[in-house]
């Protein structure tokens, strides 16, 4: 067996062992399962042309390859087709939620491309998001697994509930670690976990492996959301494609701010005041808030929280046999940590 050395800063190295599957996936994503209409083809092309990291379908395919039975032929066409379908529906749901999210957030650009609602209209964007959910439902039916239908039904509910929770908590100092982690699970980790768990279910893995991969996806997904929230404070706005501090400016309290607020000292009171009075909406107020986070441990504490979830995800992989695919699942954890190191 050839073990691929993954460079922790490079996601393409992590996805290298499944590069052929990823190429098949790319074709699958733009195929129009619903309506033979050239405008819909154009819209699908627009949302998938921009690419994105494809980390969710990549994890599905890695979990599939890492848990294939040794006596099964891993290039078996039917078996592979099911996992490509699972990977595709996972990316379809993610993309649909982003098309809707950009309408809610009034975002003009996503992945360096003009958003659908900006280029066409909000009505088209809402309907395209719905159409992508419809494509995902067709894929889901092809798996012929009521268990996986239930898992993904729950994910759709989590995505909506996470978004509603976040809206209700804007500028609220009632956010605590438990509600923050729960929201991060709903918005991000639920879909990660569903993909990893379902890949193991399709491979008829043992209950233990299914459970550990579900936990791996959950821990990695929470880690992913926390790194995203940290980059919102520390990241380079040119690289991120959005302004630094955007979450705080919108009154969204994430890990770096929570870490300062929980000190309950003078800097915590100052930060609470800036949020409470919505001073974070102004450039000076936001700069002061970001400065408090940088100076009073918000960044370091958040890095430590990322490492905690990363370490739990690493432990979850112990039940998986050694392979280049397992190395890549491990490499995905390192990749996230490297983003915020
Ligand atoms: C990005 O959040 C958005 C999500 C993780 C999911 C949003 C979910 C919905 C809009 C509900 C989807 C609807 C159904 C029917 C499932 P963000 O705004 O924090 O991240 P960003 O900076 O990438 O926009
Ligand atoms: Mg958004």
At 255-271, the pLDDT tens digits run 999 999 999 999 999 99
At 182-225, the pLDDT tens digits run 999 999 999 999 999 999 999 999 999 999 999 999 999 999 99
Residue labelled with tokens 């930060």: 271
Q: How far apart are CA 271 and CA 162, in angstroms?
A: 24
Residue 36 has pLDDT above 90, yes or no: no
The pLDDT, as a whole number, for residue 6 is 53
The pLDDT, as a whole number, for residue 4 is 45
Q: How confident is the model at residue 3 (pLDDT cuts 50, 70, 90)?
A: very low
Residue 107 CA to ligand 2 center (angstroms) comes to: 7
The pLDDT, as a whole number, for residue 2 is 38
Residue 306 has pLDDT above 70, yes or no: yes
Q: How far apart are CA 258 and CA 331, in angstroms?
A: 29
DSSP assignment letter at 244: T
* Percent of the chain predicted with pLDDT > 90: 81
At 42-83, the pLDDT tens digits run 999 889 887 788 999 999 999 999 998 765 555 566 666 899
Tell me if 201 CB under 6 Å of ligand 1: no
* Overall average pLDDT of the 317-324 stretch: 97
At 77-93, the pLDDT tens digits run 666 689 999 999 999 99
Tell me if 188 CB under 6 Å of ligand 1: yes
The pLDDT, as a whole number, for residue 78 is 65
How far CA 245 is from CA of 54, 55, 141, 177, 230, in Å, comes to 25, 24, 41, 20, 10
- Mean pLDDT, the chain, rounded, equals 92
Tell me if 328 CB under 6 Å of ligand 1: no
| Beta bridge mates, 113 | 110
The pLDDT, as a whole number, for residue 241 is 61
Mutating to test ligand 1, I would choose from 98, 128, 158, 182 the residue with most ligand atoms within 8 A of its C-beta, which is 98
As a three-state string, the secondary structure of 318-335 is HHCCCCHHHHHHHHHHHH
Q: How confident is the model at residue 175 (pLDDT cuts 50, 70, 90)?
A: very high
| Ligand 1 atom at shortest distance from the alpha carbon of 130 | 15
DSSP assignment letter at 279: G
At 128-151, the pLDDT tens digits run 999 999 999 999 999 999 999 999
Q: How confident is the model at residue 236 (pLDDT cuts 50, 70, 90)?
A: confident
């Amino acid at each position: 067996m050839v073990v691929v050395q993954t460079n922790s800063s490079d996601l393409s190295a992590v996805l290298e062992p499944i590069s052929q599957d990823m190429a098949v996936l790319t074709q699958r994503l733009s195929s129009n399962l619903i309506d033979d209409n050239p405008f819909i083809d154009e819209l699908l092309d627009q949302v998938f042309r921009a690419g994105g990291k494809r980390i969710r379908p990549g994890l599905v395919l890695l979990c599939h390859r890492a848990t294939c039975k040794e006596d099964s032929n891993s290039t078996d066409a039917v078996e592979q087709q099911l996992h490509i379908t699972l990977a595709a529906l996972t990316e379809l749901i993610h993309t649909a939620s982003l098309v809707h999210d950009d309408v809610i957030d009034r975002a003009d650009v996503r992945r360096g491309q003009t958003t659908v609602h900006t280029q066409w209209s909000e009505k088209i964007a809402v309907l395209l998001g719905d159409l992508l959910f419809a494509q995902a439902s067709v894929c889901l039916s092809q798996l012929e697994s009521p268990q996986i239908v239930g898992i993904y039904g729950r994910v759709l509910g989590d995505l909506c509930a996470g978004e509603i929770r976040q809206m209700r908590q804007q500028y609220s100092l009632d956010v605590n670690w438990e509600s923050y982690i729960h929201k991060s699970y709903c918005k991000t980790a639920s879909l990660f976990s569903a993909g990893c768990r379902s890949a193991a279910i399709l491979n008829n893995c043992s209950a233990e492996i299914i459970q550990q991969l579900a936990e791996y996806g959950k821990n990695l997904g929470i880690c992913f959301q926390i790194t995203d929230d940290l980059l919102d404070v520390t990241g380079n706005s040119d690289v991120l494609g959005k302004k630094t501090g955007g979450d705080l400016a919108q009154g969204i309290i994430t890990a770096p701010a929570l870490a300062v607020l929980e000190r309950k000292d003078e800097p915590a009171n100052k930060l609470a005041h800036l949020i409470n009075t919505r001073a974070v909406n102004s450039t000076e107020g936001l700069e002061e808030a970001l400065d408090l986070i940088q100076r009073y441990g918000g960044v370091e504490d958040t890095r430590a929280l990322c490492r905690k979830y990363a370490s739990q995800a690493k432990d979850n992989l112990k039940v998986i046999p050694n392979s280049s695919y397992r190395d890549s699942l491990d490499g995905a954890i390192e990749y996230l940590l490297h983003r915020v190191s």
